[in-house]
Amino acid sequence: MRSNRWKFILGSLIILGVLTWLGVTGIRETQTYYLTIAELQAQERLPERLRVAGDVVAGSIRREQGRVRFQLQQSENHLNVVYVGSEPLPDTFVDGAQAIVTGSLGRDHVFQAHQVQAKCASKYEAVPPGPTARPPDASN
């Protein structure tokens, strides 16, 4: 009777241990830091995956073969961004749009974005219950 209980507890601990390990490594592999532009520019050592939000500076969008360069603004701070992802940019990505870019900061202090999410500045309203629109890179 008693030994069964211990066997069960032992089994549970093994299962939970494995799952915890998977969870911890999973978080480590995908964690993305959400920083402000000021924090980004102030920090010396930056994590690998970053996410930054800001408004697209009007007139800053320049399209060059396969790449799109633009500038993000958050209060006083500006950040140069180059989009290197493969997905087409969303239609909502226009001058003045609020954008969230995910990627990393290059040595030249230009942000290399793999993914850009954008929403029109005025029309945004939280999507009602049920699954919301998600970034195109999400996979199953």
Partner 1 sequence: MELVGSFALLLAFCLCAYAVVAALLAARAHRPLLLESAERATVAVNGLLLVATGCLVALLFANDFRIAYVAQHSNRALPGFYKFAALWGGQEGSLLWWSCLLSIYIMLAVRLNRRTHRLLMPFVIAVAMSVQLFFLLVNNFAAHPFQLLAFTEGGRTSVFTPADGGGLNPLLQHPAMVIHPPMLYLGYVGFTIPFAFAMAALLTRSKGEQWIHVTRRWTMITWGFLTIGILLGARWAYAVLGWGGYWGWDPVENASLMPWLTGTAFLHSVMMQEKRGMLKVWNMALVFATFFLCIFGTFLTRSGVLSSVHAFAQSPIGPYFATFIVIGLVASTAVLLSRLDFLKSENQLDSLLSRESSFLFNNLILLASCFAVLWGTLFPLISEAVRGVQITVAAPYFNKVNVPIALFLLFLTGVGPLLAWRRTSVESLHRNFTRPLLVGAAVAAVSFVLGVRKIYPIMTVFLGIFVVATIAMEFHRGARVLRQKSNWGWLAATVALTKRNTRRYGGYIIHFGIAVLFIGISGSAFSVEQQAEMQIGSETTVGGYRFICRDLKMSETENHVSAAAEVEVYRGGRLLTKLYPERRLYKASQQPTTLVAIRPRLQEDIYVVFTGMTDDGQRAVMQIFINPLVNWVWIGGFIVVLGTLIALVPSAPPESFVLQARARRAAAEKERDAVPV
Q: Which residues contact 46 (CB under 8 A, 6 or more apart)?
A: 33, 40, 104, 105
Select 58 or 120, whichever has its Cβ closest to partner 1.
Answer: 120
3-state secondary structure 83-99: ECCCCCCCCCCCCCCEE
β-partners of residue 55 are 73, 98
Q: How far is the CB of 17 from partner 1 (least distance, A)?
A: 11
Residues 31-60 that bind partner 1 (CB under 8 A): 31-35, 39, 51
From 18-26, 71-79, 106-114, span contacting partner 1 (CB under 8 A): 18-26
From 70-78, 103-111, 131-139, span contacting partner 1 (CB under 8 A): 131-139
Which residue from 116, 56, 66 is spatially nearest to 89, judged by alpha carbons?
116
Taking every pair of Cα atoms in the chain, the longest distance, rounded to a whole number of angstroms, is: 75
Contact residues toward partner 1 (CB under 8 A) are 1, 4-5, 7-8, 11-12, 15-16, 18-19, 22-23, 25-27, 29-35, 39, 51, 63, 86-88, 91-92, 120, 123, 125-136, 138-140
